[in-house]
Protein backbone atom coordinates (compact mmCIF):
# COMPACT_ATOMS: atom_id res chain seq x y z
CA UNK A 1 0.00 0.00 0.00
CA UNK A 2 3.04 2.26 0.38
CA UNK A 3 3.16 2.90 -3.39
CA UNK A 4 -0.51 3.84 -3.71
CA UNK A 5 -1.08 7.47 -4.66
CA UNK A 6 -3.22 9.68 -2.52
CA UNK A 7 -6.22 11.45 -4.02
CA UNK A 8 -4.27 14.71 -4.05
CA UNK A 9 -1.30 13.17 -5.89
CA UNK A 10 -3.61 11.59 -8.46
CA UNK A 11 -5.27 14.94 -9.12
CA UNK A 12 -1.85 16.59 -9.44
CA UNK A 13 -0.64 13.88 -11.83
CA UNK A 14 -3.82 14.23 -13.94
CA UNK A 15 -3.41 18.04 -14.08
CA UNK A 16 0.29 17.92 -15.08
CA UNK A 17 -0.03 15.19 -17.70
CA UNK A 18 -3.48 15.79 -19.15
CA UNK A 19 -4.12 19.54 -18.89
CA UNK A 20 -0.70 21.22 -18.74
CA UNK A 21 0.84 18.64 -21.08
CA UNK A 22 -1.87 19.30 -23.65
CA UNK A 23 -1.27 23.06 -23.60
CA UNK A 24 2.52 22.67 -23.75
CA UNK A 25 2.18 20.59 -26.92
CA UNK A 26 -0.42 22.95 -28.39
CA UNK A 27 1.60 26.12 -27.70
CA UNK A 28 4.83 24.53 -28.91
CA UNK A 29 3.15 23.62 -32.18
CA UNK A 30 1.76 27.13 -32.56
CA UNK A 31 5.21 28.67 -32.10
CA UNK A 32 6.71 26.33 -34.69
CA UNK A 33 3.93 27.12 -37.16
CA UNK A 34 4.47 30.85 -36.60
CA UNK A 35 8.21 30.57 -37.17
CA UNK A 36 7.57 28.52 -40.30
CA UNK A 37 5.38 31.20 -41.85
CA UNK A 38 6.95 33.23 -44.66
CA UNK A 39 8.75 36.29 -43.33
CA UNK A 40 8.17 39.78 -44.64
CA UNK A 41 10.47 40.38 -47.59
CA UNK A 42 12.42 43.36 -48.82
CA UNK A 43 12.33 43.51 -52.59
CA UNK A 44 15.03 45.45 -54.40
CA UNK A 45 14.52 47.03 -57.79
CA UNK A 46 17.86 45.67 -58.91
CA UNK A 47 20.12 42.87 -57.70
CA UNK A 48 23.82 43.58 -57.38
CA UNK A 49 26.27 41.55 -59.46
CA UNK A 50 28.64 39.11 -57.75
CA UNK A 51 31.49 40.69 -55.81
CA UNK A 52 34.58 41.29 -57.97
CA UNK A 53 38.05 40.05 -57.03
CA UNK A 54 40.30 42.34 -55.00
CA UNK A 55 42.44 44.71 -57.05
CA UNK A 56 45.26 47.19 -56.69
CA UNK A 57 43.92 50.68 -57.24
CA UNK A 58 40.30 51.62 -57.67
CA UNK A 59 37.88 53.40 -55.36
CA UNK A 60 34.76 52.21 -53.58
CA UNK A 61 32.43 54.86 -52.16
CA UNK A 62 30.24 54.21 -49.13
CA UNK A 63 27.27 56.54 -48.66
CA UNK A 64 24.62 56.51 -45.97
CA UNK A 65 20.84 56.70 -45.98
CA UNK A 66 19.13 57.73 -42.77
CA UNK A 67 16.79 60.73 -42.73
CA UNK A 68 17.89 62.33 -45.98
CA UNK A 69 18.04 59.53 -48.54
CA UNK A 70 16.34 61.80 -51.07
CA UNK A 71 19.69 63.54 -51.61
CA UNK A 72 21.47 60.37 -52.68
CA UNK A 73 20.64 60.81 -56.36
CA UNK A 74 22.51 64.11 -56.59
CA UNK A 75 25.44 62.73 -54.60
CA UNK A 76 25.71 59.68 -56.81
CA UNK A 77 25.48 61.78 -59.97
CA UNK A 78 28.39 63.91 -58.72
CA UNK A 79 30.41 60.80 -57.90
CA UNK A 80 29.84 59.22 -61.32
CA UNK A 81 31.00 62.52 -62.87
CA UNK A 82 34.37 62.55 -61.09
CA UNK A 83 37.42 62.88 -63.35
CA UNK A 84 38.50 59.61 -61.71
CA UNK A 85 35.16 57.88 -61.10
CA UNK A 86 34.75 55.20 -58.43
CA UNK A 87 34.56 51.53 -59.30
CA UNK A 88 31.46 51.06 -57.16
CA UNK A 89 29.09 53.06 -54.96
CA UNK A 90 27.61 51.35 -51.92
CA UNK A 91 24.85 52.62 -49.64
CA UNK A 92 24.49 51.70 -45.98
CA UNK A 93 20.86 52.31 -44.97
CA UNK A 94 20.33 52.81 -41.23
CA UNK A 95 16.90 52.38 -39.66
CA UNK A 96 15.20 55.66 -38.85
CA UNK A 97 11.67 56.90 -38.26
CA UNK A 98 11.43 57.50 -42.02
CA UNK A 99 10.48 54.63 -44.36
CA UNK A 100 13.42 52.71 -45.78
CA UNK A 101 13.96 53.68 -49.40
CA UNK A 102 15.09 51.27 -52.08
CA UNK A 103 18.00 52.96 -53.83
CA UNK A 104 19.32 49.86 -55.58
CA UNK A 105 18.56 51.45 -58.95
CA UNK A 106 21.06 54.22 -58.13
CA UNK A 107 23.83 52.47 -56.22
CA UNK A 108 25.86 49.38 -57.06
CA UNK A 109 25.22 47.71 -53.71
CA UNK A 110 22.74 48.44 -50.92
CA UNK A 111 22.83 47.20 -47.34
CA UNK A 112 19.61 47.71 -45.36
CA UNK A 113 19.76 47.52 -41.57
CA UNK A 114 16.85 47.30 -39.14
CA UNK A 115 19.14 48.88 -36.53
CA UNK A 116 20.55 52.39 -36.43
CA UNK A 117 24.27 51.72 -36.22
CA UNK A 118 24.91 55.44 -36.57
CA UNK A 119 28.11 56.22 -38.48
CA UNK A 120 29.93 53.04 -37.38
CA UNK A 121 28.11 50.78 -39.82
CA UNK A 122 29.68 52.32 -42.91
CA UNK A 123 33.20 51.94 -41.50
CA UNK A 124 32.53 48.32 -40.58
CA UNK A 125 31.24 47.71 -44.10
CA UNK A 126 34.47 49.08 -45.58
CA UNK A 127 36.26 45.86 -44.70
CA UNK A 128 34.36 44.17 -47.53
CA UNK A 129 35.39 46.45 -50.39
CA UNK A 130 37.60 44.99 -53.12
CA UNK A 131 39.41 48.17 -54.15
CA UNK A 132 42.60 49.68 -52.78
CA UNK A 133 40.90 52.91 -51.73
CA UNK A 134 37.63 53.64 -49.98
CA UNK A 135 35.79 56.95 -49.65
CA UNK A 136 33.01 57.99 -47.29
CA UNK A 137 30.63 60.94 -47.45
CA UNK A 138 28.06 62.31 -45.04
CA UNK A 139 24.65 62.68 -46.66
CA UNK A 140 24.92 66.50 -46.96
CA UNK A 141 28.23 66.51 -48.84
CA UNK A 142 28.48 66.95 -52.62
CA UNK A 143 32.01 66.31 -53.95
CA UNK A 144 33.24 68.46 -56.78
CA UNK A 145 34.49 66.91 -60.06
CA UNK A 146 38.20 66.60 -59.20
CA UNK A 147 37.98 65.57 -55.55
CA UNK A 148 39.17 61.99 -56.11
CA UNK A 149 41.83 63.26 -58.50
CA UNK A 150 42.92 65.65 -55.76
CA UNK A 151 43.12 62.86 -53.16
CA UNK A 152 45.10 60.48 -55.36
CA UNK A 153 47.48 63.26 -56.41
CA UNK A 154 47.99 64.16 -52.75
CA UNK A 155 48.97 60.55 -51.99
CA UNK A 156 51.19 60.34 -55.07
CA UNK A 157 52.99 63.49 -53.90
CA UNK A 158 53.96 61.71 -50.68
CA UNK A 159 51.12 62.79 -48.39
CA UNK A 160 49.54 59.46 -47.59
CA UNK A 161 47.11 59.17 -44.68
CA UNK A 162 43.54 59.63 -43.60
CA UNK A 163 42.44 62.32 -46.06
CA UNK A 164 39.37 64.45 -45.55
CA UNK A 165 37.50 67.50 -46.66
CA UNK A 166 36.88 69.23 -43.34
CA UNK A 167 39.85 69.15 -40.99
CA UNK A 168 39.89 70.22 -37.35
CA UNK A 169 42.88 71.57 -35.44
CA UNK A 170 42.18 71.01 -31.75
CA UNK A 171 42.84 73.71 -29.16
CA UNK A 172 46.01 73.41 -27.08
CA UNK A 173 44.03 74.10 -23.92
CA UNK A 174 42.16 70.81 -24.18
CA UNK A 175 38.69 69.59 -25.05
CA UNK A 176 37.07 69.77 -28.46
CA UNK A 177 36.49 72.81 -30.62
CA UNK A 178 36.01 73.07 -34.38
CA UNK A 179 36.71 76.79 -34.61
CA UNK A 180 40.08 76.17 -36.32
CA UNK A 181 39.35 74.26 -39.51
CA UNK A 182 40.83 73.58 -42.93
CA UNK A 183 39.03 72.49 -46.06
CA UNK A 184 35.80 73.42 -47.82
CA UNK A 185 34.35 75.00 -44.65
CA UNK A 186 37.59 76.34 -43.19
CA UNK A 187 40.98 77.63 -44.29
CA UNK A 188 41.12 77.09 -48.07
CA UNK A 189 44.80 76.30 -48.43
CA UNK A 190 46.67 75.59 -51.64
CA UNK A 191 48.89 73.05 -49.89
CA UNK A 192 48.19 69.87 -47.97
CA UNK A 193 47.27 70.66 -44.36
CA UNK A 194 47.97 68.29 -41.48
CA UNK A 195 45.11 68.31 -38.98
CA UNK A 196 44.06 66.35 -35.90
CA UNK A 197 40.92 64.85 -37.40
CA UNK A 198 38.66 65.15 -40.43
CA UNK A 199 34.93 64.83 -40.99
CA UNK A 200 32.20 65.11 -43.63
CA UNK A 201 34.27 63.26 -46.26
CA UNK A 202 37.07 60.71 -45.91
CA UNK A 203 39.41 59.13 -48.45
CA UNK A 204 41.96 56.49 -47.49
CA UNK A 205 43.50 53.18 -48.30
CA UNK A 206 41.20 50.34 -47.32
CA UNK A 207 44.03 49.00 -45.17
CA UNK A 208 43.78 52.03 -42.89
CA UNK A 209 40.17 51.38 -41.90
CA UNK A 210 41.33 48.55 -39.65
CA UNK A 211 42.84 51.02 -37.21
CA UNK A 212 39.35 52.08 -36.17
CA UNK A 213 38.71 48.64 -34.67
CA UNK A 214 42.00 48.04 -32.84
CA UNK A 215 40.55 49.57 -29.68
CA UNK A 216 36.99 49.97 -28.42
CA UNK A 217 35.68 53.50 -29.07
CA UNK A 218 35.55 55.71 -26.00
CA UNK A 219 31.86 56.36 -26.79
CA UNK A 220 29.51 54.77 -29.30
CA UNK A 221 27.11 57.70 -29.72
CA UNK A 222 29.61 60.14 -31.24
CA UNK A 223 33.25 60.78 -32.12
CA UNK A 224 33.99 58.28 -34.88
CA UNK A 225 36.11 60.92 -36.66
CA UNK A 226 38.18 61.56 -33.53
CA UNK A 227 38.56 57.85 -32.85
CA UNK A 228 39.68 56.96 -36.38
CA UNK A 229 42.32 59.68 -36.61
CA UNK A 230 43.81 58.96 -33.20
CA UNK A 231 43.81 55.18 -33.65
CA UNK A 232 45.48 55.49 -37.07
CA UNK A 233 48.15 57.79 -35.64
CA UNK A 234 48.69 55.72 -32.48
CA UNK A 235 48.83 52.27 -34.05
CA UNK A 236 50.06 53.01 -37.56
CA UNK A 237 51.76 56.39 -37.49
CA UNK A 238 49.17 57.45 -40.07
CA UNK A 239 48.59 61.20 -40.23
CA UNK A 240 45.32 62.95 -40.95
CA UNK A 241 45.47 65.40 -43.85
CA UNK A 242 43.31 67.80 -45.84
CA UNK A 243 44.22 67.90 -49.55
CA UNK A 244 44.45 71.34 -51.20
CA UNK A 245 41.23 73.36 -51.29
CA UNK A 246 42.35 76.39 -53.30
CA UNK A 247 39.98 79.32 -53.00
CA UNK A 248 39.81 79.94 -56.74
CA UNK A 249 39.42 76.33 -57.91
CA UNK A 250 36.44 74.65 -56.29
CA UNK A 251 36.64 71.75 -58.75
CA UNK A 252 39.16 70.20 -56.31
CA UNK A 253 36.95 70.62 -53.25
CA UNK A 254 35.38 67.82 -51.26
CA UNK A 255 32.02 69.61 -51.12
CA UNK A 256 30.09 72.30 -52.92
CA UNK A 257 29.57 74.76 -50.05
CA UNK A 258 25.95 75.67 -50.73
CA UNK A 259 24.85 72.03 -50.98
CA UNK A 260 25.39 71.15 -47.34
CA UNK A 261 23.80 74.38 -46.18
CA UNK A 262 20.74 73.92 -48.39
CA UNK A 263 20.24 70.34 -47.27
CA UNK A 264 20.57 71.34 -43.63
CA UNK A 265 17.74 73.84 -43.98
CA UNK A 266 15.41 71.28 -45.48
CA UNK A 267 16.05 68.42 -43.10
CA UNK A 268 18.16 68.96 -40.01
CA UNK A 269 21.02 66.57 -39.36
CA UNK A 270 21.11 64.63 -36.10
CA UNK A 271 24.23 66.44 -34.91
CA UNK A 272 22.31 69.74 -35.16
CA UNK A 273 19.53 68.54 -32.85
CA UNK A 274 21.75 66.93 -30.20
CA UNK A 275 24.59 68.62 -28.36
CA UNK A 276 27.58 66.27 -28.39
CA UNK A 277 30.20 68.85 -27.47
CA UNK A 278 30.63 67.42 -23.99
CA UNK A 279 31.07 63.90 -25.34
CA UNK A 280 33.53 65.02 -27.98
CA UNK A 281 35.57 66.96 -25.43
CA UNK A 282 35.64 63.90 -23.16
CA UNK A 283 36.92 61.75 -26.05
CA UNK A 284 39.65 64.25 -26.94
CA UNK A 285 40.79 64.59 -23.31
CA UNK A 286 40.81 60.81 -22.84
CA UNK A 287 42.97 60.28 -25.91
CA UNK A 288 45.29 63.16 -25.05
CA UNK A 289 45.80 61.60 -21.63
CA UNK A 290 46.61 58.39 -23.51
CA UNK A 291 49.42 60.17 -25.38
CA UNK A 292 47.84 61.88 -28.38
CA UNK A 293 50.20 64.64 -29.51
CA UNK A 294 47.85 67.04 -31.25
CA UNK A 295 49.13 69.51 -33.85
CA UNK A 296 49.03 72.45 -31.42
CA UNK A 297 51.46 70.59 -29.15
CA UNK A 298 53.72 69.29 -31.93
CA UNK A 299 53.80 72.61 -33.77
CA UNK A 300 53.20 75.36 -31.18
CA UNK A 301 52.39 78.75 -32.62
Specify if 96 maps to a domain: yes
Are 91 and 63 contacting, i.e. CB atoms less than 8 angstroms apart? yes
User: How high is the pLDDT of residue 105?
Assistant: 87
Torsion of CA 21, 24, 27, 29, to 10 degrees: -80
Which residues are registered as beta bridge partners of 182?
167, 187
In whole angstroms, what is the distance from residue 129 CA to residue 290 CA? 31
User: How high is the pLDDT of residue 265?
Assistant: 42
Specify if 216 maps to a domain: yes
In whole angstroms, what is the distance from residue 166 CA to residue 168 CA? 7
User: How high is the pLDDT of residue 277?
Assistant: 84
User: How high is the pLDDT of residue 272?
Assistant: 46
Specify if 7 maps to a domain: no
Domain limits for position 290 = 59-298
How many domains are contained in the chain?
A: 1
In whole angstroms, what is the distance from residue 232 CA to residue 241 CA? 12
Specify if 41 maps to a domain: no
Specify if 288 maps to a domain: yes
Specify if 141 maps to a domain: yes
Specify if 282 maps to a domain: yes
pLDDT averaged per 10 residues in sequence order, the chain, 301 residues? 62 59 52 59 82 95 79 92 98 75 86 76 91 95 97 98 97 94 96 97 97 92 93 98 97 91 48 69 96 87 55
Those residues with Cβ within 8 angstroms of residue 261's Cβ, 6 or more apart along the chain or in another chain: none
User: How high is the pLDDT of residue 184?
Assistant: 96
CATH of residue 236 = 3.90.550.10
pTM over 0.85: no
In whole angstroms, what is the distance from residue 19 CA to residue 8 CA? 16
Whose CA is closest to 230, among 219, 245, 246?
Answer: 219
Amino acid sequence: MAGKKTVGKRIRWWWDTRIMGFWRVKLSGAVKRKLAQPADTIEFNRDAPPMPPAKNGGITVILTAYRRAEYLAEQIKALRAQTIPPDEIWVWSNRSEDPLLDVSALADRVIVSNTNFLFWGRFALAGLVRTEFVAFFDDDILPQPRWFENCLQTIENGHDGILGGSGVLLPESGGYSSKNKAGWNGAQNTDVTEVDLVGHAWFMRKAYVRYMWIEEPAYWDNGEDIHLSYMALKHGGIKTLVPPHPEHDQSLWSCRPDFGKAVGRLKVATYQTQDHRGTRSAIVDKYRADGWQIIAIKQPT
